Amino acid sequence: MENEFLQVVDALPGLVWTALPNGEVTFLSRRWCEYTGISAENILQYWQDAIHPDDLPELLRRWSDNLTSGEPREIDARLRRFDGEYRWFLIRTRPILDASGHVVKWCGLNTEIEDRRRMEALLAGETELLEMVAGARPMPVILEWLCRLVESVAAGCYCSIAVMQQEGERLELGAAPSLPREFIQSVIDGPADSDPCATAALSNQQVIVADLLADCRWERCSWRQLAVHRRIDACWSTPLVSASGKVMGVCSIHYDRRRTSAPLDHELMGQIVRIASVAVERTQRDATLRRSEAFLAETRRLSSTGGFSKCVSTGEINWSDEVYRMFEFDASKPVSLELIRSRVHPEDRASFDDMLDRQQRGIDYEHEYRLLMPDQSVKYMHVVAHATKDVSGRVEYIAAIQDVTERRRSEAALIEARSELARVARASSFGVLTASIAHEVNQPLSGIITNASTCLRMLGADPPNLDGARETARRTIRDGNRASDVIKRLRALFGKTDATIENVDLNESINEIVTLFRSELHRSRVTVQIELAGDLPYVAGDRIQLQQVILNLLLNALEAMSGIDDRPRQLLVKTEYHAADGVRVSVADTGTGFGGHEPMRVFDPFYTTKPGGMGIGLSVSKSIIDNHDGRLWAASNDSGGATFSFSIPKHPKQHKGGNGRTGRWIAGVTDSPQSK
């Protein structure tokens, strides 16, 4: 009978025991002995040795309560298996009562709940981990916590996590709280493909080293020595893979000889790796997102840019804080179109309404309008909007809005300053030109006087010389026209006029300037050579401004040659047409040149080497040429002196134009050229 009872007991799925009402253990089943490895003779005396030392005090306390209450109970505790590994058991106690209800005996059944405990711990861990990720805890903290979670659910192992660098080329240590840092670091720093961790990352496959000493794959690898030195006996390395299949890192679980537990089962390992992958991916993604959000916020702040979205069909508008600040509206109040429109400058409301109409069409747009603020100040807003469609096909705009007030103000100030500078520069040239102008105007005036007195003389003769008088009167008119032309040209050159774009014939412009300049050249003993290309195309531009540039270059050339006495003072003014960069004008002199300095410096505003110079002529000239989509540059001549050139694209609407003249004439001391 007893035998039969023992057979039944041994067949039960668990470890059976009995005890007296005072708690003294009287029987432990054979499976109890086999499981713990304690011999049958000693088991009654030493059963407590099989309980995990951390769990024993609590177990004894609850067992004592249990005896007092006489009620059935359930207690969790870890039991040491014969091989030294502790595993969780659920200990169920039941009292056996006599007819009067007194406890005569206790019996108990211990069932292993290791797997359930692990799964519960993993589940709780997973939840907590995701909370940590969502709470933006730093990656190392999260990974360390994850390692500890693994070590707690799979007792007897050491966990390490290596993370792939953002560039995806190298692994770096994420966490290994229970392994010596130098060990795990030297494994990670070792050559690729020479340890299980790197191999798992490279191959994107799990690498299991069940028994290192018996595994010949690593015989020649340095990590084997390191591992043996650290008494590592087994290692499971599993890649952590993102949802898109990219290897993000490796989770390695190590065992040493002291920890003789069996490796984790595949299901548990799979679970751990899944949690680790999610944690690493989420953390990396969140970190990237946070970084780009921070960048965006900073960029927005620095560039005074706000963002808004608008659903066209519902009219719902969402503004970022920055936009509220720009419009100076209370951020707690919802925005409406009426509210926005009330801020739009009255003169810009019509174009604002046009923009709203355009939104209905669902196309991307860019728009600029002004705001009139309550203190009557004006702000300039620039909007760039991108249309998107949601799943139901509704158009939604995502837009960036930038406060460009400062930019617009400085642009206006720049334009004003530029035309002011141009005017100043022209005026400063005035002194140099005065003699030339006086000469130009004087010539026709004295011609007029001479002709008029000749005419009078001819009319007073007896008989009056009518033909001669007619001819001299005609010459008087011609000279008068010449003087008036000179004045007209001067007024155009020095008057403060805004840019007007027209077809400009640069050959003609050069001729005009040189005509004005002739006597000055003559006085300065400069020989001028002019080479004008025939069939030069027109350029689109402001004639007065372009003449100002040419005049500036001529004046500079003249000044550069003013002290030159050891060689001829020669000026070459040339026009050419190049298919690549359009019409090119160059002014070459035999002056001082740049004295070894970088020629392009001369375009810097206020750069001057002249005692009375302002250093603005060339910088203004450059901005004029830039405004004509052209290019102005300087170079040293091989034979001394400098050449300044500019090129301007030909007028887009014509192929050939200009005055059709090609010319080559010399002005200077020995020559007194005719006006062309």
Min CB(519)–ligand ADP separation in Å: 20
- From the list 395, 200, 438, the residue with the least C-alpha distance to 309 is 395
Of the candidate spans 165-173, 341-349, 475-483, 601-609, the one that interacts with ligand ADP by CB under 6 A turns out to be: 601-609
349 scored as a contact of ligand ADP (CB under 6 A): no
Map residue 441 onto helix, strand or coil.
helix
Structure-token match 């009995």, residue found:
18
Nearest CB to ligand ADP, comparing residues 261 and 627: 627
Q: Are 207 and 201 in contact (CB under 8 A)?
A: no
Minimum distance from residue 313 beta carbon to ligand ADP (Å): 59
Nearer to ligand ADP, 429 or 454 (CB): 429
Hey, what are 470's tokens?
A: 């007619």
Among 109, 344, 642, 667, which residue sits at the site for ligand ADP (rule: CB under 6 A)?
642
Tokens 């921070």 sit on residue: 294
Complete DSSP assignment for 422-434? HHHHHHHHHHHHH
Q: Which is nearer to ligand ADP, 450 or 645 (CB)?
A: 645
Quote the least distance from Cβ 622 to ligand ADP, whole Å. 9
Stretch that binds ligand ADP, among 230-238, 325-333, 453-461, 613-621 (CB under 6 A): 613-621
- Binds ligand ADP by CB under 6 A, chosen from 617, 630, 658, 668: 617
From 48, 46, 12, select the one nearest 29 (Cα to Cα).
12
HSE of 96, CA atoms in CB hemisphere, 13 A: 10
Question: On the CB side of 159, how many CA atoms lie within 13 Å of its CA?
Answer: 24
Binding status of residue 610 toward ligand ADP by CB under 6 A: yes
Nearest-approach distance from CB 426 to ligand ADP, in angstroms: 12
State both tokens at 268: 């548990």
**Among positions 615, 649, 657, 663, the unique one binding ligand ADP when judged by CB under 6 A:** 615
Residue-level length of the chain? 676
The angle that helices 266-302 and 139-153 make with each other, rounded to 10 degrees, is 170
Question: How many residues line the site for ligand ADP (CB under 6 A)?
Answer: 21
Asked if 218 and 193 touch (Cβ cutoff 8 Å), the reply is no
User: Do the beta carbons of residue 107 and residue 100 sit within 8 Å?
Assistant: no
Beta-bridged to residue 539, according to DSSP, are 504, 650
Residue 66: phi and psi, rounded to 5, are -60, -45
Contact call for residues 106 and 95 (beta carbons, < 8 A): yes
Candidates 216-224, 237-245, 564-572, 614-622: pick the segment binding ligand ADP (CB under 6 A). Answer: 614-622
The distance of closest approach from Cβ of residue 610 to ligand ADP in the complex, given in angstroms and rounded to an integer, is 5
Alpha-carbon distances, residue 303 vs 48, 307, 410, 412 (angstroms): 72, 12, 15, 19
Which residue from 21, 447, 534, 613 is in contact with ligand ADP, where contact means CB under 6 A? 613
CA 479 to chain centre: 67
Is residue 591 a contact residue for ligand ADP (CB under 6 A)? yes
Smallest gap from Cβ 625 to ligand ADP, in A, equals: 13
Cβ closest to ligand ADP, residue 42 vs residue 434: 434
How many CB atoms are closer than 10 A to CB 37? 12
Per CB under 6 A, which region of 98-106, 223-231, 556-564, 649-657 contacts ligand ADP?
A: 556-564
Minimum CB distance to ligand ADP smaller for 59 or for 614 = 614
**Per-position DSSP letters for 268-313, written without gaps between them:** HHHHHHHHHHHHHHHHHHHHHHHHHHHHHHHHHHHTTEEEEEEETT
Cβ at position 567, least distance to ligand ADP in Å: 14
| SS3 per-residue string spanning 133-182 | HHCCCCHHHHHHHHHHHHHHHCCCCEEEEEEECCCCCCEEEEECCCCCHH
- How far is Cα 118 from Cα 110, in angstroms, rounded to an integer? 17
Contact between 523 and 435 (Cβ < 8 Å): yes
In terms of CB distance, is 146 or 425 closer to ligand ADP?
A: 425
Residue number with CB closer to ligand ADP (252 or 647): 647
Closest CB to ligand ADP: residue number: 613
Q: Nearest distance from residue 602's CB to ligand ADP, in Å? A: 3
Least Å distance, CB 647 to ligand ADP, is 18
Determine if 560 is a binding residue for ligand ADP (CB under 6 A). yes
Among 160, 451, 556, 623, binds ligand ADP (CB under 6 A): 556
State which amino acid sits at residue 229. Answer: H
Stretch that binds ligand ADP, among 169-177, 251-259, 331-339, 555-563 (CB under 6 A): 555-563
Stretch that binds ligand ADP, among 196-204, 253-261, 608-616, 649-657 (CB under 6 A): 608-616
Q: Pick from 284, 443, 592, 645 the residue near ligand ADP by CB under 6 A.
A: 592
Q: What is the CA radius of gyration of the chain?
A: 49
Q: Give the residue with the Cβ less far from ligand ADP, 419 or 608.
A: 608
CA–CA distance, 384 with 378 (Å, rounded to integer): 20
Measured from the CB atom, the residue of 532 and 618 that comes closer to ligand ADP is 618
Q: How far apart are CA 554 and CA 600, in angstroms?
A: 18
Amino acid type, 130: L
Question: Tokens 């949601």 map to which residue?
Answer: 390
Q: Please identify, among the stretches 235-243, 292-300, 606-614, 662-670, the one whose residues bind ligand ADP according to the rule CB under 6 A.
A: 606-614
CA distance 81 to 51: 10
Interface with ligand ADP (CB under 6 A), residue from 602, 624, 625, 632: 602
Q: Classify residue 449 by its DSSP letter.
A: H
Closest approach, Cβ 559 to ligand ADP, in A, equals: 7
Q: Min. distance of Cβ 425 from ligand ADP in angstroms? A: 8
Q: Which of residues 618-637 bind ligand ADP (CB under 6 A)?
A: 618-619
- Per the structure block, which two tokens stand in for 305? 């840019």
Among 494, 607, 633, 665, binds ligand ADP (CB under 6 A): 607
Question: Could you give the CA distance from residue 107 to residue 16 in angstroms, rounded to a whole number?
Answer: 7
Question: Which one of residues 589, 624, 648, 668 is an interface residue with ligand ADP (CB under 6 A)?
Answer: 589
**How near is the Cβ of 565 to ligand ADP at its closest, in Å?**
16
Q: Would you say 507 and 661 are in contact if contact means Cβ atoms under 8 Å apart? A: yes
- Supply the minimum distance, in Å, between the C-beta of residue 637 and ligand ADP: 10
Choices 384-392, 525-533, 604-612, 663-671 (CB under 6 A): range interacting with ligand ADP:
604-612
CA–CA gap between residue 122 and residue 403 (Å, rounded) = 52
Least distance CB 551 / ligand ADP (angstroms): 11
Residue 471: partners with Cβ closer than 8 Å, 6 or more residues away: none
What are φ and ψ of residue 75, in 5° steps?
Answer: -130, 140
Question: Do residues 251 and 240 make contact, with C-beta atoms less than 8 angstroms apart?
Answer: yes
Q: Rank residues 206 and 429 by Cβ distance to ligand ADP and give the closer one.
A: 429
| 550 makes contact with ligand ADP (CB under 6 A) | no
Minimum CB–partner distance for residue 366 and ligand ADP (Å): 37
CB of 643 to ligand ADP, least distance (A): 8
Q: Do 561 and 598 form a contact (C-beta atoms < 8 A)?
A: no
Give me the least distance between CB of 646 and ligand ADP, in Å please. 13
Which span (6-14, 81-89, 406-414, 610-618) binds ligand ADP, by CB under 6 A? Answer: 610-618
**Residue 252 or 547 having the CB closest to ligand ADP:** 547
Binding site for ligand ADP (CB under 6 A): 556-557, 560, 589, 591-594, 602, 607-610, 613-619, 642
